[in-house]
Every structure is written in C-alpha cells, then in structure tokens.
C-alpha cells in the first residue's frame, strides 16, 4: 500500500514535543546510562519509573473520515519515539511501569474534527535495536517460487515488504493456469513492476511446458542453482505467501551455518499429524533453505528426481531427492513457520516468540481470518525487529506490535484484581497469565507439542478484550515543516458490543534517533 496522507495532522508528535519530553526526563537519568550510549540516547531515555503527568493536546481527526465509523466512538492515541539500543536478543516481553494511553475521549466527527484533551500523555520512549536500519544485504541468497501470474501480481505488495534493496534475487515460474502458459507481455510488465520497486525478480516460464505442479516447484532448485554467482551461498524455495519479517534476522540465522557444507534447512509443520504423514521435511510454506553445496547435489540429480516424483507435493519432492542422494538430514529451525493451524491465530501472533518466516495468512489460506501482512509489518520500517514484539503496560494492557492491543479487565495480566489503591492488589488476586505460553486460539484439535508448546487454553471475551490492527500507514508528523513521511501510524479497532461505542486506539511510531552509521549488521 502506498503512503497515505492524512487530511490534517497530529499536533503533538513534533520535534518540539520530543525536546520538551527529553528536557523533562533526560537529566534525571543521565547517571544510569552506559557511557557509550550517552551521547545519542541521553536526551530521550526515560527514567525507570517515569513520572507521568497528563498534558493537553490537540488532534485533528479528519483522517478518520474514510473509515466510516459509527459515531460517537471512544478514541485515544499515543506517540511513540523509538530509542535505538544495542541488540541483546529479542525479549519475549518488556514490562513498562507506566500506562500506554492517557484517557479516552468521545469523538463525533460530525460535531467536530478537532479533539482537545487535557488527559494526553507525552511521547512514550520504547527501546528497540535497529531503528531505521537499511535493508540487510542478502546478495548471498536466491529465492524461487512458482505460482500463477494472477497470484504473483497480488503478492507484489507483500514481497515489497522484505525483498527490495537487499541484493537478493528471486525467480518466479509462472503460468496463467494449468492449461495455459502466461502471456509474455504480461510477464515483462510484471517484472518491470518489481524492478521499479527495487526487487530483482525474474518472471519466467516453466522449465518444460509440460511440467506438473510438483515438477515446476522441484525445477526451481536447478533454476536458482544455475543462476548462482560468486556471492551465492543459499537458495531458498518459497511459496507465494511465504513472508520473512526480518531479513536481518534471517541472515543472522544463516550465519550460524557454513554454506560450504551441505545444509537442508527448514521447518516442520506445527501439526504433528502432518509430520508423521509426510515426513521429516522442510515444509514449503516456511521456506526451504539449501546451502549452495546442497543445491549442487540437488541440481546434479534433478533430471532423475524430477522424472520420478513420488507425490504431487513440491516440498516432499525436495526431501525425497535429498534423502535419496545424500546423507544430509533436515536442520529444523522452529522459528521458520509453516503455520498449519486454522481459524483465529491471535495466540500465535501474540506469543512474542521469534518468527523468522510466516505463511498461510492470505485470503483463501486463512478463511475468515485474512491478515493484511503489509499493514501489520509496516512498523518494521521504523524499528526492524519490533514487529510482533510485546510490551506490557500498566492498566492491564499488552501491545503485540502490529497485531493487537489486548486488555485484561479482571486483572489476569498482573494477577491483581482491579480495585484498591491504584492496582495494588487490594482488590484481591486472580490467576496470572503465563505469557511464556502460547494461547491456543486456533480451531483445530492438533498436536503441537513438538512445535508451539507450551500452550494455554483460549481466554474468554470476559477475561481478554482485543483491539485488532485495522490499518497502518506512513504519515507526516509535521506537514508544515517537513512535507515528508516520517511516522508510521497504526490504527487498532474494536467494534462495540450492542449499546457500546466502537473503540479506536492509535499509535504513532516515530524514529527518535538518527540511524547509527554502522546500521547494516552485515556490513
């Protein structure tokens, strides 16, 4: 999706506001800073226990118009300033001793497009590694997929989230349908569309016009191998709905494996039945990564393997050929995800676990629960690996970044019932959720002990209130002075029950520091 310009803009997220914020907080905290961080971070790093005060703010809400909400709605927003810190691994959860939001306002666009509130909070500083980093260098990778040209067109916007300007190449074998080859002019136009967006994609016909689905998939191995150059270390089979949230993290995983040795890297299905039924293989949707040495073997045996496929599944064919012609076994990387659960996958997306790849989130593959990955993932442009990271705030609020904001009205997040003095637990205690366990929100009765465990039962609506991501877009925090998009806005939404108002929660993510000069972790 292209950047969208709001009609009118947030007043408060300005450099001025940040400076006031800093001036207020920075001095108190300087002594606790690590020396090498001090120069860059001093002005923005919050004290451990932030002293919160409400401030007045004015917000222009004309940009809400296109959503056609049923007014009045409950509305609240907060500006977030990301603070770059050294990468010390991804925490499952970060607990903040402060609220995410000030107080809700009732908004009726028909009555007024300007919201004045004296119960706003100053911008919130969140520490994340990799603020505004350049795309990772992936010149060591060649990706391959096969699909119909229609499906490939629809997935340009998704590939545009992780492929551009990485120096990675992608080969896409396309057909119009099983009966009909794709049109050459259409293929050239699509290829140009990719190139225009900084993606090095080659849109090609099947190696042989009579290739079956599985043969087309299998042949990608040779296509990628033959296209190698001196830099190529990995070839990667993907589906047209395989998504890599962070090329930086993918590269870090690959760095643990020497490409001069034969590697068959992938992930099992989350569903034990599928593993038992199909084999100990890399399931295609999660991505199958072969070192160039492994790819050489596959290429050598391709004529034989491709002519004698055991099944109609491409990923099984890759496994079969590797297991028949080498002693290499699957290296299972659980952070790569086939996503074979169905229905509501909130528990998965709210798990805080590291996710190197995703699959099965598009319409068709996720009936009724289609996700707009390109919107969910937009915030990664501000902070590369803050996507799906979790922050817990006071007032029983949990942010699963890019997916949801959840609230626990009975106190299950902290284990303290609301009531008493400022949530001191005077109200009594309730079971505290174990956030290390994945909430089993999916519909299937499947055995996930080898993959998603530990898991916990699905929570009722009375215990957990969910505000799901509705939209995300680039905006300009200060149109009068910048005229550039510098902020990622996320809109979270929950429809009100009968007789209740709908609720809109907005987060405006702004990069607080200049990109470090050595931002590209791969050099």
Ligand X SMILES: *[C@@H]1O[C@H](CO)[C@@H](O)[C@H](O)[C@H]1NC(C)=O
For the bound state, the minimum distance from the C-beta of residue 338 to ligand X, rounded and expressed in Å, comes to 29
Do 506 and 491 touch, CB atoms closer than 8 A? yes
User: Among residues 165 and 519, whose Cβ is nearest to ligand X?
Assistant: 165
Question: What long-range pairs does 434-439 form, CB within 8 A, spacing at least 24?
Answer: 435/92, 435/93, 435/352, 435/390, 435/392, 435/398, 436/92, 438/347, 438/348, 438/351, 438/353, 439/346, 439/347, 439/350, 439/351
Q: Would you give the DSSP letter of residue 429?
A: B
3-state secondary structure of 178: coil
Q: How far apart are CA 509 and CA 93, in angstroms?
A: 19
CA proximity to 222, closest of 284, 291, 300: 300
The least CB distance from residue 216 to ligand X, in Å, is 22
- Give the single-character DSSP code of 131: B
* Minimum CB–partner distance for residue 246 and ligand X (Å): 22
- Smallest gap from residue 488 Cβ to ligand X (A): 27
Q: Choose between 6 and 144: whose C-beta lies nearer to ligand X.
A: 144
Q: In terms of CB distance, is 394 or 520 closer to ligand X?
A: 520
Nearer residue to ligand X within complex by CB, 200 or 451? 200
Query: Which residue has the closest beta carbon to ligand X?
Result: 200
The nearer residue to ligand X, 113 or 139, going by C-beta atoms, is 139
* Secondary structure (3-state) at 278: helix
When the beta carbons of 69 and 171 are compared against ligand X, the nearer one is: 171
Specify the length of the chain in residues.
523
Six-digit token string for 249: 């993290």
Output the smallest distance, CB 160 to ligand X, in A.
15
Structure tokens at 88: 């010390």
Look at residues 331, 324, 332 and name the one whose alpha carbon lies nearest to residue 297.
324
- Residue whose CB is less far from ligand X, 247 or 398: 247
| Residue ranges that bind ligand X, judged by CB under 6 A | 169, 195, 200
Smallest separation, CB 140 to ligand X (Å): 11
Separation CA 41–CA 22 (nearest Å): 10
- Smallest distance from the beta carbon of 188 to ligand X, in angstroms? 13
């Amino acid at each position: 999706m292209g950047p969208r310009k709001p009609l009118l803009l947030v007043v408060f997220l300005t450099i001025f506001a940040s400076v006031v914020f800093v001036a207020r907080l920075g001095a108190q905290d300087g002594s606790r800073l690590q020396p090498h961080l001090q120069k860059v971070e001093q002005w923005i790093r919050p004290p451990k226990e932030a002293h919160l005060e409400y401030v007045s703010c004015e917000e222009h809400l004309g940009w809400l118009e296109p959503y056609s909400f049923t007014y009045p709605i409950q509305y609240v927003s907060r500006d977030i300033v990301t603070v770059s810190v050294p990468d010390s691994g991804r925490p499952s959860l970060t607990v903040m001793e402060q609220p995410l939001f000030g107080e809700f306002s009732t908004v009726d666009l028909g009555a007024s497009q300007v919201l004045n509130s004296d119960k706003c909070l100053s911008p919130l500083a969140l520490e994340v590694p990799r603020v505004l980093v350049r795309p990772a260098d992936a010149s060591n990778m060649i990706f391959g997929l096969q699909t119909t040209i229609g499906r490939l067109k629809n997935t340009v916007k998704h590939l545009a989230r992780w492929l551009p300007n990485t120096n990675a190449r992608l080969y896409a074998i396309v057909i119009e349908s099983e009966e009909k080859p794709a049109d050459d002019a259409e293929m050239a136009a699509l290829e140009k569309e990719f190139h225009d967006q900084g993606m090095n994609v080659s849109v090609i016909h099947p190696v042989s016009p009579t290739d079956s689905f599985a043969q087309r998939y299998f042949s990608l191995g040779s296509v990628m191998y033959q296209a190698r150059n001196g830099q190529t270390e990995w070839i990667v089979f993907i589906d047209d709905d395989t998504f890599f949230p962070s090329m930086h993290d993918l590269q870090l995983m690959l760095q643990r494996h020497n490409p001069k040795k034969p590697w068959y890297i992938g992930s099992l299905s989350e569903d034990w039945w599928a593993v038992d039924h199909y084999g100990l293989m890399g399931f295609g949707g999660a991505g199958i990564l072969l070192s160039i040495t492994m790819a050489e073997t596959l290429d050598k045996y391709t004529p034989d393997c491709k002519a004698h496929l055991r099944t109609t599944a491409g990923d099984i064919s890759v496994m079969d050929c590797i297991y028949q012609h080498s002693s290499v076994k699957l290296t299972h990387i659980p952070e790569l995800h086939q996503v074979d659960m169905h229905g509501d996958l909130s528990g998965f997306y709210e798990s805080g676990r590291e996710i190197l790849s995703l699959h099965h989130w598009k319409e068709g593959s996720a009936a009724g629960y289609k996700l707009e990955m390109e919107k969910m993932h937009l915030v990664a442009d501000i902070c590369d690996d803050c996507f799906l990271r979790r922050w817990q705030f006071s007032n029983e609020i949990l942010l699963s970044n890019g997916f949801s904001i959840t609230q626990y009205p009975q106190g299950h997040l902290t284990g303290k019932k609301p009531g008493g003095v400022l949530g001191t637990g005077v109200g009594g205690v309730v079971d505290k959720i174990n956030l290390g366990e994945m909430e089993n929100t999916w519909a299937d009765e499947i055995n996930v002990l080898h993959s998603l465990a530990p898991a916990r039962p699905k929570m009722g609506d009375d215990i957990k209130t969910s505000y799901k991501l509705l939209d995300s877009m680039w905006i300009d925090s200060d149109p009068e002075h910048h005229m550039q998009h510098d902020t990622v806005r996320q809109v979270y939404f929950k429809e009100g029950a009968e007789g209740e108002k709908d609720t809109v929660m907005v987060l405006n993510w702004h990069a607080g520091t200049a990109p470090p000069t050595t931002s590209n972790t791969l050099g």
